[in-house]
Structure 1
Amino acid sequence: MCNRIPPSGHPEVNLRPLVRGDAGHWYACLMQPGVREHTSWQLSSVDDLAPLFDALETPRAPTQIRMAVVDRAGALVGSIGFHSIQWPHGTAEIAYELCPAYWGRGIASALCQSVSRWALAAFGWHRIQACVLDTNVASAAVLRHCGFQHEGRLRHFRQVRGVARDFDVYGLIVADVGTASG
Structure 2
Amino acid sequence: MQHINPPELQNNLVYLRPLNRADAPAWHAYLTMPHVLEHTSWQLRSIDDLLQKFDALESSDPASELRFAIVLRSSGELVGTIGFHSLSLLNKTAEIAYDLAPGVWGRGIAPSACAAMVDWAFNHLDAVRIQATALDSNIRTVRVLEKCGFQREGLLRNFRMVRGQPRDFWIYARTGG
Structure 2 length as normaliser, TM-score? 0.95
Q: In structure 2, what is the Cα distance between the partners aligned to 1:49 and 1:149?
A: 30
Report the CA distance between 1:65 and its aligned residue.
0.4
Contact kept in structure 1, 2:5 and 2:18, CA below 8 Å: no
Residue 159 of structure 1: CA displacement? 0.6
Secondary structure in 2 aligned to 1:172?
strand
Asked if the contact 1:90–1:127 (Cα under 8 Å) also holds between the matched residues in 2, the reply is yes
Q: Distance in 2 between matches of 1:60 and 1:118?
A: 19
The answer for the alignment partner of 2:167 in structure 1 is: 165
DSSP 3-state at the match of 1:155:
strand
- Which AA in structure 2 matches 1:32? M
More helix by share: 1
**AA aligned opposite 1:98:** L
Mapped partners of 2:112, 2:61: distance in 1: 30
TM-score, normalised on structure 1?
0.92
- Of the three residues 115, 120, 123, the one matched with 1:121 is 123
**Closer, same or farther in 2 for the Cα pair 1:22/1:62, shift >3 Å?**
farther
Q: Determine the structure 1 residue equivalent to 2:65.
A: 64
Structure 2 letter corresponding to 1:25: A
Contact map agreement 2:71 2:79 (CA 8 A) in 1 = yes
Asked if the contact 1:55–1:62 (Cα under 8 Å) also holds between the matched residues in 2, the reply is no
- Corresponding position: 1:109 with 2:111: yes
Partner of 1:46: 47
Q: Superposed, which structure 2 residues align to 1:28-43 within 5 Å?
A: 28-43=29-44
Amino acid at match of 2:50: L
Q: Which runs of 4+ in 1 moved over 6 A?
A: none
Unaligned runs of 5+ in 1: 176-182
The answer to whether the 8 A contact 2:63-2:88 is kept is no
CA contact (8 A) 1:32 1:99 kept: no
Q: Is the 8 A contact 2:27 2:80 kept in 1?
A: yes
Partner of 1:55: 56
Q: Percent identity?
A: 50
- 1:1-182 equivalences under 5 Å are 3-72=4-73, 73-174=75-176
1:180 counterpart residue number: none
CA contact (8 A) 2:63 2:86 kept: no
Deviation at 1:113, TM superposition (A): 0.6
Residue aligned with 1:35, SS: helix
Corresponding residue pairs, total: 175
Q: Distance between the aligned counterparts of 1:9 and 1:170, measured in 2? A: 23
